[in-house]
């Protein structure tokens, strides 16, 4: 297997993602390249980290996960290659890999510095093409990580904001909003353990009661709370957009009351 995933803020209008794929294929013609998303909002490390955390474990062992959300491209920021039990990760040391690495412990980690593996001339504005792509190809062929650069022990953390509990109240926030307008919070099943049935959430001026199993378990057009498929509490509307219904945005606070 030679799966390489790409998660970037390159968008799909330009040729950036295509060129990265070309370079990977030049160096590993058997690479099977899968897009996680190229529509991370520009420079939004948090959203890139969130998507990588929710995606990496669904790929075959040996997959090389490449995250290029890299506002510091061309600066002295490090690029890290990380080996875990099942995967390789490649990304700038800006936190984009951190939530994934909190979930899948690094076994070894190097700072990618060996120019021998890069595409030359090395630009200072498109390391996706000149560094990430050829190094991903190298890793996908089973290359020895130690050749890429010196071993490092730490990486920059980026913890997703945690929900806070105070007595019967949990104060969380919206950390992501998906295409359907489902508003994903940072509240997990552990936070509400044992209280699912008696839950109430305050979303702006509306109160949503109880936890639903699926969107379709309430009437069309009705709001609901559910634990989503990635393990977070989300606010949704059956057949419509909770974002639009309640004018919600990322970072809006959500209060959940247990009884």
Q: Residues in the site for a copy of itself, rule: CB under 8 A?
A: 1, 3, 5, 7, 9-19, 21-23, 25-26, 29, 32-39, 42-43, 51, 54-55, 58-60, 63, 71-75, 77, 123-126, 129-130, 178-181, 213-217, 226, 228-229, 238-239, 241
Could you give the CA distance from residue 78 to residue 59 in angstroms, rounded to a whole number? Answer: 26
Q: Which is nearer to a copy of itself, 102 or 171 (CB)?
A: 102
Beta carbons of 210 and 232 less than 8 angstroms apart: no
Provide the minimum distance between the beta carbon of 253 and a copy of itself in the complex, in angstroms, as a whole number: 22
Provide the minimum distance between the beta carbon of 249 and a copy of itself in the complex, in angstroms, as a whole number: 15
Provide the minimum distance between the beta carbon of 151 and a copy of itself in the complex, in angstroms, as a whole number: 25
Q: Which is nearer to a copy of itself, 74 or 150 (CB)?
A: 74
Q: Which is nearer to a copy of itself, 165 or 250 (CB)?
A: 250
Q: Which is nearer to a copy of itself, 150 or 231 (CB)?
A: 231
Token pair, residue 42, equals 């520009």
Provide the minimum distance between the beta carbon of 49 and a copy of itself in the complex, in angstroms, as a whole number: 12
10 Å Cβ neighbour count for 213?
11
Provide the minimum distance between the beta carbon of 127 and a copy of itself in the complex, in angstroms, as a whole number: 9
Beta carbons of 242 and 223 less than 8 angstroms apart: yes
Encode burial over 11-31: b for 16+ CB neighbours within 10 A, e otherwise.
eeeeebbeebbebbeebbeeb
Beta carbons of 201 and 170 less than 8 angstroms apart: no
Give me the sheet containing 88-92, strands edge to edge: 32-37, 3-8, 64-68, 88-92, 79-84, 106-111
Q: Which is nearer to a copy of itself, 8 or 252 (CB)?
A: 8
Could you give the CA distance from residue 34 to residue 30 in angstroms, rounded to a whole number? Answer: 13
Provide the minimum distance between the beta carbon of 33 and a copy of itself in the complex, in angstroms, as a whole number: 8
Q: Which is nearer to a copy of itself, 57 or 108 (CB)?
A: 57
Asked whether the bond before 137 is cis by omega within 30 degrees of 0, the reply is no
């Amino acid at each position: 297997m030679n799966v390489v995933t790409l998660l970037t803020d390159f968008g799909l209008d330009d040729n950036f993602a295509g060129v990265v794929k070309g370079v990977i294929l030049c160096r590993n013609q058997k690479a099977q390249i899968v897009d996680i998303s190229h529509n991370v909002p520009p420079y939004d490390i948090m959203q890139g980290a969130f998507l990588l955390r929710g995606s990496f474990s669904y790929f075959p062992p040996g997959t090389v996960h490449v995250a290029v959300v890299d506002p510091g491209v061309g600066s002295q920021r490090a690029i890290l290659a990380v080996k875990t039990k099942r995967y390789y990760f490649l990304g700038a040391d800006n936190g984009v890999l951190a939530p994934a690495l909190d979930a899948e412990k690094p076994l070894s980690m190097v700072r990618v510095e060996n120019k021998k593996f890069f595409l030359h001339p090395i630009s200072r504005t498109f390391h996706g093409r000149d560094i990430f792509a050829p190094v991903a190809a190298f890793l996908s062929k089973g290359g020895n990580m130690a050749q890429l650069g010196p071993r490092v022990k730490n990486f920059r953390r980026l913890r997703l904001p945690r929900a806070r509990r105070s007595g019967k109240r949990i104060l969380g926030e919206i950390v992501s909003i998906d295409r359907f307008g489902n508003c994903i919070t940072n509240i997990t099943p552990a936070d509400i353990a044992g209280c699912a049935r008696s839950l109430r959430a305050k979303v702006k001026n509306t109160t949503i009661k109880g936890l639903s199993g699926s969107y379709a378990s309430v009437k069309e057009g009705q709001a609901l709370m559910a634990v989503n498929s990635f393990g977070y509490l989300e606010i949704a509307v059956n057949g419509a957009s909770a974002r639009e219904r309640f004018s919600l945005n990322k970072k809006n606070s959500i209060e959940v009351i247990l009884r």
